[in-house]
Structure 1
Amino acid sequence: MGIEADSTDLDRFRADVRSWCEEHIPPDWRATQTGVSDEEFARFQKAWFAELHAAGYAVPHWPSEWGGGLPVAEQIVLYSELAAHDAPRLVLAFVGIHHAASTLLVAGTDEQRARHLPAILDGEIWVQGFSEPEAGSDLAGLRTTARKDGDGYIVNGQKLWASGGKHADWCLLLARTDPEAPKRKGISYFLLDMTTAGVEVRPIRNAIGDSHFCEIFLNDVRIPAANLVGAENAGWQVAQATLGAERGMTMLELAERLGNAGFRWLVKLCPIDDPVVADRLAQFETEITGLRGLCRRLVENAEAGTTGPADASIVKLYYSELLQRMTNFGAEIAGLPAHTELVKSASSGWESGSWMLDFIGSWEWTIPGGSSEIQRTIIAERGLGLPREPSAV
């Protein structure tokens, strides 16, 4: 199913999505989601996800047998219209519909898919348990252990920067099952029920004042062997499906949000009669066009099974650094109010128009999920075939 489609069908689909957006997107959601409690934020997020799911718009990238199956061209239209109509972002469902689903579809068992994919559509929330205090960009350096014990594993360790952990029902967990193996060879991938005894979640207050990031402490946590994804000690390979989703397929939605709401807020803010400012806006618009082109090609190649080994990293790097430049420029142009009026809707993305908070938040993209330096290394070695950097002695 290519990106090309009958224009009449696409026009009809766009009209349907546009009509749905006008009827279902709460016009006052930004105001009502500013300064809300964690409970109200979670309630709103789950209700909004249910609205999208009922319309068939929640997981367009999933296979049709699991509730998705929209052609690539229609996915682009859908995300474009949602962004143009300033729809709330699916913050809590993000890991479930992208990372967990991608992992289960690529490496999960039939039983794991049957258990969790419908549950995600019913509102099951997921968190990613990868990074640790001494294993961020060097993810293979993780120290959390999983010891085989009868028909399960006993897990001990700590995870860090677990976005949305305080709301999560399940966790995508990496743990070391063979401490004697080379770093990437002794890791296994698990599905962890967050209600299991021994799991403790501690929110971390971040630079913009919220507690979206969390620490997860694991103290003699028992995980059934049935929750192992892929083979024991092959978790590094399974994790690439998760990281591929984070660096790749999620970008289509984010690119449309940046190119619609983000750029619209920027144009509204700027004195466009200033030739220097107008030149910067033109540059950003050109870069957004390039980002959209990269995202659309990535989605089409993924559907055709022709994705290159560095394609997702190229898109992730391009988006994250463009986001940072745009939000930095917005904070600069907005002046003192942007630095003092520090309020932002809980269900918005990184292009909310609260420029200082957006700029600070943009660092979530140039550091986590593989820093920009890591992405450049992947592009150089896997994409361009350059020699690997020598290991530190």
Structure 2
Amino acid sequence: MTGETEEVVESSTDSRELGRFRREVRAWCAEHVPPDWRASQTGVTDAEFVRFQKQWFAELHSAGFAVPHWPAEWAGGARTRGVDPAAPALSVAEQVVLYQELAAHDAPRLVLAFVGIHHAASTLLVAGTDEQRQRHLPAILDGEIWVQGFSEPEAGSDLASLRTTARRVGDDFVVSGQKLWASGGLHADWCLLLARTDPEAPKRKGISYFLLDMTSPGIEVRPIRNAIGDSHFCEIFLDDVVVPAANLVGQENAGWQVAQATLGAERGMTMLELAERLGNAGFRWLVEAAPTDDPVVADRLAQFEIEIAGLRGMCRRVVEKGADGPADASIVKLYYSELLQRLTDFGAEIGGTGAHTVLAKPLSSGWESGSWVLDFIGSWEWTIPGGASEIQRTIIAERGLGLPREPSVA
């Protein structure tokens, strides 16, 4: 495995302006992507990980590359001058080029900023008040870290079954309950929280959406040590936590609808970024590890290359044209997560005993670091959370293909 970059060939479909932008991003990456970040981010402390993540986010933001999908009026910076304030800071075509080049140059991922710049931002832009946007969007650009407080011990894929409660007391809500699989919860400043405000209503009708200050009294965050030895996932326990009514997003009992804006943020440009990373560093590590003179291995590599090309094409179509069908987002999520799992499984297989002795990976990498056994274990993070593969297939069957709904189990 090497740290060399794989240059993206300038597409013949690039316009003159887009080609110029690609060269600009390529030059910036060559100068600013830390060449030794994989080594320096392996085996580091939590404090060093957080410091590196915030520094890398600041580098991207100063170049106008951290939040290219935000409206220009909120993204800020010299790059947005003269751009329609309501339009994205970078055009969709420019965002595609940006993620292609970042992936090709093996740039670190924005792990800690992910929920803030995608989930929190999309929620606030769609359903937040002016005061909420003014308070949090600039703070996110300054490094405010967010966590998603949705899933619970008995409300994962069936999220609407959540049991955390929020009862109105004057100008506040008092929240009690437990959240699970809260990625990055130990480092979070704020939380996107779903809680039940009307226990008598149908389960999707009585949920409200809140912005939760993680420094509030009554909050306890407990790390969950996972199979690869880190504690990215956390539990959040809420014991009579007071949340001001001003932190309610949207209408009371209408949080389920607001949450769709949050969940939808996972299915657009973020999937394109992940697809590009899988097709660059991930596939490159696989080729370098494989005995390509073995015809069986060569055939598998060719098949993976075809599948990655298909994934990239699907993601780009969804980004450029929008999700045309009701199941498009599920198709992309299912295809990516299961391809990731197959590819990392194959990497662990061909890597032999040596692959099974690499028990550390860079904290700022994705799910395609080249540490094959750890990557394979981590790939299950994609086939289970956010709607397990079985759930995605049900959505595709019922909403996409129009097949009859499965009978209810009494």
Aligned to 1:111: 131
1:389 corresponds to 2:406: yes
**Which deviates more, 135-144 or 107-116?**
107-116
Structure 1 residue 282 corresponds to structure 2 residue 282: no
- Describe how 1:199-214 pairs up with structure 2 within 5 A: 199-214=219-234
**Mapping for residues 41-60 of structure 1, pairs under 5 Å:** 41-60=49-68
1:262 counterpart = 2:282: yes
Q: Distance in 2 between matches of 1:12 and 1:248?
A: 25
Alpha-carbon distance in 1 for matches of 2:216, 2:309: 46
Q: 1:198 to 1:66 in 2, by over 3 A?
A: same
- C-alpha displacement at 1:363, in angstroms? 0.4
Mapped pair 1:123 → 2:143: yes
| Equivalent residue number for residue 5 of structure 2 | none
- Which amino acid in structure 1 is aligned with residue 201 of structure 2? A
Q: Aligned letter for 1:285? A: E
- Write out aligned runs for 1:339-354 (5 A): 339-354=356-371
Please give the alpha-carbon distance, in whole angstroms, between the structure 1 residues aligned to 2:403 and 2:269: 25
Q: In the aligned structure 1, how far is the partner of 2:358 from the partner of 2:399?
A: 44
Name the structure 1 match of 2:350: 333
Counterpart in the other structure of 2:379: 362
- Pairing 1:299-318 to 2, within 5 Å after superposition: 299-302=319-322, 307-318=324-335
Asked if 2 retains the 8 angstrom alpha-carbon contact of 1:185 and 1:236, the reply is yes
In 2, the alpha carbon distance for the partners of 1:389 and 1:107 equals 33
Residues 92-241 of structure 1 mapped to structure 2, 5 A cutoff: 92-241=112-261
Taking a change above 3 Å as real, the CA distance of residues 287 and 6 of structure 1, as seen in their structure-2 partners, is closer
The CA distance in 2 between the partners of 1:83 and 1:51, in whole Å, is 16
Gaps of 5+ in 1: none
C-alpha deviations, 1:169-209, integer Å up to 9, x for none? Answer: 00010000011111111111111010011111011100000
**Aligned residue identity for 1:343:** A
- The match for 1:62 is 70
8 Å CA contact 1:62–1:69 kept in 2: the answer is yes
Q: Do structure 1's residue 376 and structure 2's residue 393 form an aligned pair? A: yes
Instruction: Report the Cα distance in structure 1 between the residues aligned to 2:293 and 2:93, rounded to whole angstroms.
Output: 36
Summarize deviations over 1:120-178 as a string: whole Å, max 9, x none. Answer: 11111000000111111111111100001101100000000000000000001000001
**3-state SS of 1:250 partner:** helix
Residues 308, 69 of structure 1: CA spacing in aligned structure 2 closer, same or farther, 3 A cutoff? farther
Letter in 1 for 2:245: A
Displaced runs of 4 or more, over 6 A? none
Report how many aligned residue pairs link the two structures: 388
Distance in 2, matches of 1:6 and 1:209, equals 44
Change (3 A) 1:282 1:184: same
The Cα offsets for residues 211-258 of structure 1, whole Å up to 9 and x where unpaired, read as 000000000001111111111111111111111112333101100000
SS at match of 1:322: helix
Give deviations 1:3-37, integer Å, cap 9, x for gaps: 99752112111110011001101111111111100
Q: Which residue of the other structure, out of 10, 25, 41, is the alignment partner of 2:18?
A: 10
Structure 2 stretches lacking a partner, 5+ long: 1-10, 76-87
Alpha-carbon contact 1:4-1:73 (below 8 Å) kept: no
What amino acid is the match of 1:353? G
Aligned partners of 2:215 and 2:144: how far apart in 1? 13
Residue pair 1:5, 1:73 contacting (<8 A) in 2 also? no
What SS does the corresponding residue of 1:286 show, helix, strand or coil? Answer: helix
C-alpha deviation, 1:379, in angstroms:
1.6
The verdict on how the C-alpha distance between 1:117 and 1:11 changes in structure 2, with shifts beyond 3 A counting, is: same
Aligned amino acid, residue 369 of structure 1: G
In the alignment, residue 203 of structure 1 is paired with which amino acid?
P
2:30 aligned with 1:22, yes or no? yes
Deviation at 1:388, TM superposition (A): 2.3
RMSD (Å) for aligned C-alpha atoms: 1.4
Following superposition, the deviation at residue 386 of structure 1 comes to: 2.4
- 1:202–1:215 Cα contact (<8 Å) kept: yes
Q: Distance in 1 between matches of 2:121 and 2:307?
A: 30
Write the distance in 2 (CA, Å) between the matches of 1:101 and 1:4: 34
Report Cα offsets for 1:252-298 as digits up to 9, x if no partner.
Answer: 11000000000010111111111111111111111111111111111
Provide Cα deviations, 1:71-104, integer angstroms capped at 9, x if missing partner.
Answer: 1111111111111111001000011111111111
2: distance between equivalents of 1:298 and 1:158?
35
Structure 2 distance, partners of 1:178, 1:167, is: 31
* Distance verdict in 2 for CA 1:182–1:200, change over 3 Å: same
Q: Percent identity at matched positions?
A: 83
Deviates more, 1:74-83 or 1:308-317: 308-317
1:143 touches 1:175 (CA, 8 Å); kept in 2? yes
**Structure 1 residues 139 and 4 mapped into 2: Cα distance closer, same or farther (>3 Å)?**
farther
CA distance in 1, matches of 2:167, 2:197: 6
